[in-house]
């Protein structure tokens, strides 16, 4: 059994990304430009007020109204409706573009890491759709397990504690532990993604689960190490956002930081694939 060197792998993932930042910029440039154009339109249509409506929802839901718990959401929908359909359409387009950008860049970045392939300016085809499909399938599987186990845990804890307060505390602790279990499970399945990117016929969710045996905590730990630099950068962006800069600056900046963080994790997944999965024989790659 191969044991993943956690710190070295995370360091190599971050180092590879930073040393090949020009390749990342090439893979992301067209997506970022399209996103900036949408942000400019969104800002022109009243984007600041639109985002403020969501911020206000967060404030309103902090103090729930027992008489009308849906009132904050009704207020949000009324506000968004009053702004017109155009801004809602642009907001949805920004979200969809962000999703497509992630999957387009993910494939390009895995292939750059594993095959030394020069990323195209933009790519979106069957391979990206397969990557997206497997992501959705895995999300559904993990979410279904989370819900089923959470319900079972909640009922069990309620009977065990015999009091509302004790049951609440026990339920929150149990759900927290369950989330860790879900993250560990995701790590076990994650090698399917770089396998899909390089067209490895052997790789699927079951193969990934088998290849990562004994490395669940190592993969989770390495992923967290890759996330730490992005958390620091995100904090800096939050502080900058507090200064009151326009959306045309803050939103694309946030997108680029998310792309950098995603590249760290994608590089980590690629190196894990390279380390834990036997090298493909002739004919294994499509």
Task: Read off the pTM.
Answer: 0.83
Residue 164 confidence (pLDDT) above 60? no
DSSP string of 47-74? HHHHHHHHHHHHHHHHS--SS-TTHHHH
- pLDDT bucket at 80, cuts 50 / 70 / 90: confident
- pLDDT bucket at 201, cuts 50 / 70 / 90: confident
- Does 139 map to a domain? no
Rg (CA), the chain: 22
Can you say whether the dihedral through the CA atoms of 81, 83, 85, 91 is positive or negative? negative
pLDDT tens-digit readout, 116-158? 999 888 877 788 888 888 899 888 988 887 777 777 766 666 6
CA dist 268 and 23 (Å) reads 16
- Does 247 map to a domain? yes
Residue 173 confidence (pLDDT) above 80? no
DSSP string of 179-204? HHHHHHHHHHHTTHHHHHHTTBTT-S
* Contact predicate 102/126, CB 8 Å: no
DSSP string of 79-122? HHHHT-HHHHHHHHHHHHHHHHHHHHHHHHHHHHHHH-PPPPS-
Residue 269 confidence (pLDDT) above 90? yes
- Does 201 map to a domain? yes
Least Cα distance to 27 among 128, 100, 95, 104 occurs for: 104
Q: Taking the CB of residue 74, how many other CB atoms lie within 10 A of it? A: 10
- Does 166 map to a domain? no
Residue 62 confidence (pLDDT) above 70? no
Give the residue numbers spanning the domain of 125. Answer: 6-46+83-134+196-276
Query: What percent of the chain shows pLDDT beyond 70?
Result: 83
Task: Work out how many domains the chain is built from and give that number.
Answer: 1
- Identify any residues that bridge with 200 across adjacent strands, giving them in sequence order: 285
* Contact predicate 266/113, CB 8 Å: yes
- Does 10 map to a domain? yes
CA dist 134 and 155 (Å) reads 32
Instruction: Write the CB contacts of 259 (distance below 8 Å, at least 6 apart in sequence).
Output: 24, 28, 32, 101, 102, 105
- Does 34 map to a domain? yes
Q: According to the model, what pLDDT value does residue 64 have? A: 61
What 3-state DSSP class applies to 285?
A: strand
pLDDT tens-digit readout, 204-253? 888 999 999 999 999 999 999 998 888 888 787 777 666 667 888 888 88
* Contact predicate 187/212, CB 8 Å: yes
- Identify any residues that bridge with 86 across adjacent strands, giving them in sequence order: none
Q: According to the model, what pLDDT value does residue 253 have? A: 85
CA dist 151 and 160 (Å) reads 14
- Does 174 map to a domain? no
């Amino acid at each position: 059994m191969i044991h993943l060197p956690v710190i070295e792998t995370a360091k190599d993932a971050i180092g590879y990304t930073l040393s090949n930042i020009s390749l990342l910029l090439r893979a992301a440039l067209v997506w970022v430009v399209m996103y900036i154009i949408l942000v400019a339109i969104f800002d022109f249509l009243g984007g600041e007020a639109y985002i403020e409506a969501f911020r206000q929802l967060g404030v309103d839901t902090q103090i729930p109204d027992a008489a009308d718990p849906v009132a904050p959401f009704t207020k949000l929908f009324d506000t968004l409706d009053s702004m017109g359909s155009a801004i809602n359409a642009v907001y949805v387009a920004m979200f969809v573009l962000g999703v497509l950008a992630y999957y387009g860049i993910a494939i390009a970045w895995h292939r750059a890491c594993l095959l030394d392939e020069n990323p195209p300016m933009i790519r979106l085809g069957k391979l990206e759709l397969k990557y997206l499909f497997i992501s959705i399938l895995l999300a559904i599987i993990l979410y279904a397990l989370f819900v089923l186990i959470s319900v079972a845990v909640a009922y069990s804890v309620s009977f065990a504690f015999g009091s509302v307060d004790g049951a609440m505390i026990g339920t929150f602790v149990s759900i927290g532990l369950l989330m860790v279990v879900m993250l560990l499970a995701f790590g076990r399945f994650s090698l399917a993604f770089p396998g899909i990117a390089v067209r490895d016929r052997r790789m699927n969710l079951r193969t990934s689960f088998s290849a990562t045996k004994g490395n669940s905590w190592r993969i989770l730990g390495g992923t967290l190490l890759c996330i730490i630099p992005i958390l620091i950068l995100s904090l800096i962006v939050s502080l900058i956002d507090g200064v009151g800069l326009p959306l045309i600056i803050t939103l694309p900046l946030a997108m680029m930081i998310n792309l950098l963080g995603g590249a760290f994790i994608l590089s980590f997944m690629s190196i894990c694939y390279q380390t834990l999965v036997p090298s493909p024989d002739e004919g294994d790659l499509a």
